[in-house]
Chains A and B, each alone.
Chain A
Amino acid sequence: MTQSDAEWQAIAAYVDQMATMIELPIPPECREGVIANVMRTKAIAQLFLDFPVPDEVEIAPTFDP
């Protein structure tokens, strides 16, 4: 099993279990596409998740640009 196969299986299991948790049935014909999108989303999120944001930086409750 390659690393990407293993990641696919892990994310597929996560999607299946979380779908139960949040009571969102995923139509069988959409499952593969959803897993692929979640994998893509994970890669995108890594771009900012590893960026250190100081503790005092909080969300703007009503965003004021």
Chain B
Amino acid sequence: MQNWEQMDAIAITTAVQTGETTARAVTEAALQQIEVGNPALNAFTEVLAEQALASADAVDGAIAQGKDAGPLAGVPFAVKDLYDVSGMTTLAGSKINRDNPPATQDATAVARLKQAGAILVGTLHMDEYAYGFVTINSHYGATYNPHDVSRVAGGSSGGSAAAVAGGLIPLSLGTDTNGSIRVPASLCGILGLKPTYGRLSRAGVALFSTSLDHVGPFARSVRDIAASFDAMQGADLRDPICTERSPEPTLPQLPQGLNELTIAVADDHFATGASPDIFAALETVAKTLNAEKRVTIPEAKRARAAAYIITSCEGTNLHFSRLKERPMDFDPATRDRFLSGAFIPGHWYTQAQRFRRWYRDRVRELFEQVDLILAPTTPCVAPKLEQQTLVIDGEEVLLRPNLGLYTQPLSFIGLPVLSVPVQQPDGLPIGIQIIAAPYQEAKILRAAAVLEAAGVIAAPAVVGH
């Protein structure tokens, strides 16, 4: 296959299903691309060549027999190394988890993509236990940005974003608690969807902060995000917060365009702090979508603070026994933060959760006036690996926590959000968030498809780093 690394998942599966190529040929090309491209990016933690080729042969066999091989037949994908893959130990970016036994079954999201015919080719790098926005990990090194390998890929799902942006695979999965899908999608110039809280099953995924954890896909086209999201929908008794709603396919809705959608730009918290090129990209997106209104998401700064407290308490609670028994085996980048979460008074946590309820109700009211809201994803383009600070509104602040400036107040109440990439002719890509009311992913994807068709967003693979 020629230039397969630039093809999106739908183009690949179409070629496989029409006999233009085979799943084996695509998988071999992906494995080759990973072998050549991964050393510069450090995106993969494990490559599952044998397993992938066996799965590809099964897909080719099904197609040869005239069977339905699934909507993603022959599409290579990989997952953040906190999704269980049967037979492998789930490391979650840690050293400590190396002592765990192998997983006995695939995470539900992995199983559903496989069921749709996709081919699992490996696992992907991350910040330890998903606590970070940069994917600089003392145990396994940093993941590098395909647009400029002297810059971070973002995190915590950095490997998932870099592998797709670098053309190693067309599709990957990550997780997002405070921005860990959207931040790396923004910095690597691809699409990353954080669905509604509870809409996709988290069963078999190493959790971080259960009130806020989401799973979701990365891809280079809107239709790939829609197709993979659709393949993963559905109730799951293994995840106590997974919705019992019937799946609602979004892919068939993409051609509906902006019909009757009211779109606004977020002001206040979301209209300050970013560099001018970010706001210029946001205006271009807003103009294309006829978004003339401005809306205020109330108390977003407080929401961000409350999200931090909940994350810290729940993350520490989850890892308490490990913090007690093996503190020095944690990554220094996460250790002191995890330890400090043990000292948060119960009143603060409870108040953060009550504030969350209050804030959710106010934002629900906002969505009675508008269908979609636009905001920047990150306050800056991909920073240098060694960069420690950032200037926001004239004040020098720590870089790492502030990469979540605009993402945290949204995941806090489980809203569905897609980060879409605006490419700069002579610069690094910029991410813009498209935000909807709960369960309205289809509206987001319709707007994203309009932007893609207009050439305002694009995610070409960056190969040959």
Residues of A within 8 A of B (CB): 14-15, 18-19, 22-27, 30, 33-34, 36-38, 41, 44-45, 47-49, 51, 53-54, 57-60, 62-65
Report which of B197, B303, B339 forms a contact with A30, defined as CB distance below 8 A.
B339
At the interface, is chain B mostly helix, strand, loop or mixed?
A: helix
The contact of B352 among A15, A36, A37, A48, by CB within 8 Å, is A48
Q: Smallest CB-CB separation from B416: which chain A residue?
A: A65
- In the complex formed, the residue of B with least CB distance to A54 is B358
**Across the interface, do B328 and A27 meet the contact criterion of CB distance under 8 Å?**
yes
A65 CA to B323 CA, complexed, in Å: 32
Q: Are B323's CB and A47's CB within 8 A?
A: no
Interface residues on B, range: 35 or more
B323 near A51: Cβ-Cβ < 8 Å: no
Nearest Cβ on chain B to A10's Cβ, whole angstroms? 13
B353 CB-CB contact with A under 8 Å: yes
* B415 contact set on A, CB distance < 8 A: 65
Query: Which B residues contact A (CB, under 8 angstroms)?
Result: 196-198, 211, 240-241, 299, 301-306, 308-309, 312, 320, 323-324, 327-328, 335-337, 339-344, 348, 350-358, 360, 413-415, 438
Given A37-B336, A37-B337, A65-B414, A51 contacting B343 (CB threshold 8 A): no
Residues of B close to A59: CB separation below 8 A? 350, 353-354, 356-357
- In the bound complex, how far is the Cα of B68 from the Cα of A49, in angstroms? 55
Task: Decide if B360 touches A65 in the complex (CB within 8 Å).
Answer: yes
Are A38 and B340 touching (Cβ within 8 A)? yes
A-B pairs with beta carbons under 8 Å apart, 9 shown: A18-B342, A23-B324, A41-B340, A51-B355, A58-B357, A59-B356, A60-B353, A65-B360, A65-B415
Could you say which residues of chain B place their CB within 8 Å of the CB of A60?
A: 353, 356-357, 360
Which residue of B211, B328, B339 is within 8 Å of A63 (Cβ)? B211
How far apart are the CA atoms of A45 and B195 in the complex, in Å? 27
A24 contacts B336, C-beta separation under 8 Å: no
Please name all residues of chain A whose beta carbon is closer than 8 Å to the beta carbon of B350 when the two chains form the complex.
Answer: 59
Asked if A48 and B340 sit within 8 Å, CB to CB, the answer is no
CB–CB B344/A30 < 8 A: no
Q: 14 more A-B contacts (CB under 8 A) besides A48-B306, A51-B302, A59-B350?
A: A15-B343, A19-B342, A27-B327, A34-B336, A34-B343, A44-B308, A45-B305, A48-B302, A48-B303, A53-B358, A60-B356, A62-B241, A64-B198, A65-B414
